[in-house]
Copies of this chain bind each other. A is one copy, B any other.
Amino acid sequence: MELSQFTDYSPRGLIYSTVRQPEKITITELTKVYRISHHHLVKVVHHLGKLGYLENKRGRNGGIYLGKNPHQVSIGDVVRRTETHLNLVECFNAKNNACRLTPACRLMGALIEARDAFFGVLDAYRLRIRNPS
């Protein structure tokens, strides 16, 4: 049970940007703080920009800024929107599912409920991390 590295670095990038507010951040800074590859972070930052979580401003004070109010961004949403693999087990994917028990089996329902509970907890945490109110 692992989140992808891509997902792992996404909230981390946003948390760093939140801490540095109202300053801009650079990918070089992120690379130093998290000690991960520059190449990998370029992709993460680009994706977070596309989702509006980060904003790439041009001009004299240009740079990467937080794109949203950190009190309104839930960690659950960030994880949900960056984790592409949310199929916990084979039968979640009707296309590849070869299991003959599926019609009678309630395992999938239990796992979906468990996944919902997982995100339910993360939804209550905001980017400016403090205990859920």
Could you list 20 A-B pairs, sorted by A, with CB under 8 Å?
A1-B1, A1-B83, A1-B118, A2-B2, A2-B88, A2-B89, A3-B89, A7-B89, A8-B88, A8-B90, A16-B101, A34-B99, A35-B99, A75-B107, A106-B125, A107-B129, A110-B121, A110-B129, A114-B118, A114-B122
Tell yes or no: A94 within 8 A of B by CB.
no
Q: Mark A50-67, 1 if CB is under 8 A from B, else 0.
A: 000000000000000000
- Given A88-B3, A100-B34, A101-B16, is A119 in contact with B110 using a C-beta cutoff of 8 Å? no
The residues of B that contact A105 with a CB separation of less than 8 Å are 12, 15, 129
B122 touches A8 (CB 8 A): no
B110 touches A114 (CB 8 A): no
Q: Mark A23-37, 1 if CB is under 8 A from B, else 0.
A: 000000000011110
The residues of B that contact A99 with a CB separation of less than 8 Å are 12, 33-35
Other A-B pairs, 5, CB within 8 Å; known A3-B89, A113-B121, A114-B119: A12-B105, A33-B100, A111-B122, A114-B117, A117-B121
CB nearest to A129 among chain B residues:
B106
B122 touches A34 (CB 8 A): no
A1 touches B122 (CB 8 A): no
**A107 to B33 alpha-carbon distance, docked (Å):** 16
